[in-house]
Amino acid sequence: MSKRILFTLIIFLLSCRIDPKLNGIDPSSANSLFSNLLIFQNSSDISFVPQLGTVTNDLSKIAIMLKYEVSDLSKEDLILYNNAIRIDYTLVKVSNKSYEISFQGEEGKFSLDLVNLKTKYNLTPPASEAFWVLDQNVPSITTESKMQNVHSVDLSEGNVILTYSEAVVGAEDLSNYEFIFSDPSEIQVLKILKSDEMNYRLFFQSYTDKPMIIKVIPRRVRDYAGILVPSEEIIINVYGFRNVGNMIERRCDFSAIAIDE
């Protein structure tokens, strides 16, 4: 009789299932909790998106987009470092799926430690993710609809990425690019510096420090094999600036690596 009771109890316990959701989050979906919107190709867990709006010389903003709702994300869950030194920041809840971090940004490597999320939500995010802030200039995407012609964007390096089949001869030459500015008044393109085979930095001057969008259109040029490389637009949203006399010097980074016809 006791064996029958024990067997019945075991069956009953096995039939009871505790709701696995914590705070509305299914742990089985932990690896996809954070939406991989357009960027952070090295991670499918979290996505940092530069916040559209004013970014001044002493303040930078990063938006964190979540795939599922988290109603009580707090500063205890996220630790911000600048070159391995912990720094303070302001966390603002925009919605249950969107939070904004504001911090004093100087040139350097910034990283966000997410370890506490694992304990709080029983999740498995990466230990940390890194992104770059260059002279308070956070290169930004505009909207997804305007990004349709951009092959990929990598904000972890502070770059907008344009991909080619091979490295392009003379890609650092200004004559290989057409630049269209959202505020074209009194703008002078100075130079493009080639930091390595794939990465480039555009310097230009203007009389305005307002945020602006630059459309970079590479002209068809020949790669090392003599093959014509198709043009592809890059959309860059520029915030950073530095006063140089009466002009304002600004810069933004982009890369050239891989588009197929």
Amino acid 26 reads D
Provide the pLDDT for residue 231: 47
Amino acid (1-letter code) at residue 82: N
What burial letters (b/e) apply to 6-28, b meaning 16+ CB within 10 Å?
Answer: eeeeeeeeeeeeeeeeeeebeee
Residue range(s) in the chain whose domain bears CATH number 2.60.40:
27-133
- Rounded to whole angstroms, the Cα distance separating 173 from 148 reads 26
User: CA torsion, points 238, 243, 156, 28, in degrees to nearest 10?
Assistant: -70
Q: Report d(CA 74, CA 130) in Å as an integer.
A: 19
Name the pTM for this structure.
0.34
Mean pLDDT by 10 residues, the chain (261 residues): 53 42 36 30 39 45 64 78 76 76 63 62 48 36 28 33 32 58 58 54 57 59 47 49 46 42 31
DSSP 180-200: EESS-TTEEEEEEEE-SSSEE
Q: What is the pLDDT of residue 215?
A: 64
CATH 1.10.3720 fits 27-133, yes or no: no
DSSP symbols for 123-183: ----SEEEEEEBTTB--B---TGGGTT--EEEGGGTEEEE--SSPBTTTT-GGGEEEEESS
Q: Are 244 and 205 in contact (CB under 8 A)?
A: yes
pLDDT of residue 153: 32
